[in-house]
Amino acid sequence: MFARITTADTRPEWVDDFINVYEKSIVPAAKSQKGFCKAYFLVDRKTGKGLSITLWDSEEDAIANEKNLYYQEQLVKVKNLFTSPPTRQGFEVCIEA
């Protein structure tokens, strides 16, 4: 399993808007991607910092949806809510409990 973690900052007053877009648009789009397993969206309402964690069957699946522009299309949906550029990292999931 492979995890893609995207960190993004928004204004605290925009957190609910960000959550709404993630839940109603980004998650349904993710579910249509090959290898998608789960998504988590964590927020700090006081600072506006958000953390998206998506889990994929393999690193190849995560990379494939970057190549087919799925990932970039999801960022566009929330780009007006960013207060700084998001960062993205990938990790092998070694333990799941």
> What is the token pair recorded at 74?
């999801």
Instruction: Give pTM, 2 decimals.
Output: 0.91
Q: What pLDDT score does 7 carry?
A: 97
Residue 97 structure tokens: 């409990």
What integer pLDDT is reported at residue 71 of this predicted model?
A: 87
The CA R_g of the chain, rounded to the nearest whole Å, is 13
Task: From the options 3.30.70.100, 3.40.1190.20, 1.10.10.10, 3.30.2130.30, give the CATH code of 2-92.
Answer: 3.30.70.100
Helix (H) / strand (E) element for 63: namely helix 59-67
Instruction: Give the dihedral of Cα atoms 56, 60, 61, 63; nearest 10 deg.
Output: 100
The pLDDT assigned to 24 comes to 97
Q: 6-33 pLDDT, tens per residue?
A: 999 999 999 999 999 999 999 999 999 9
What whole-number distance in Å separates Cα of residue 19 and Cα of residue 78?
Answer: 10
Q: For residue 55, what pLDDT is reported?
A: 97
For 33-89, the pLDDT digits (tens) are 999 999 999 999 999 999 999 999 999 999 998 889 888 899 999 999 999 999 999
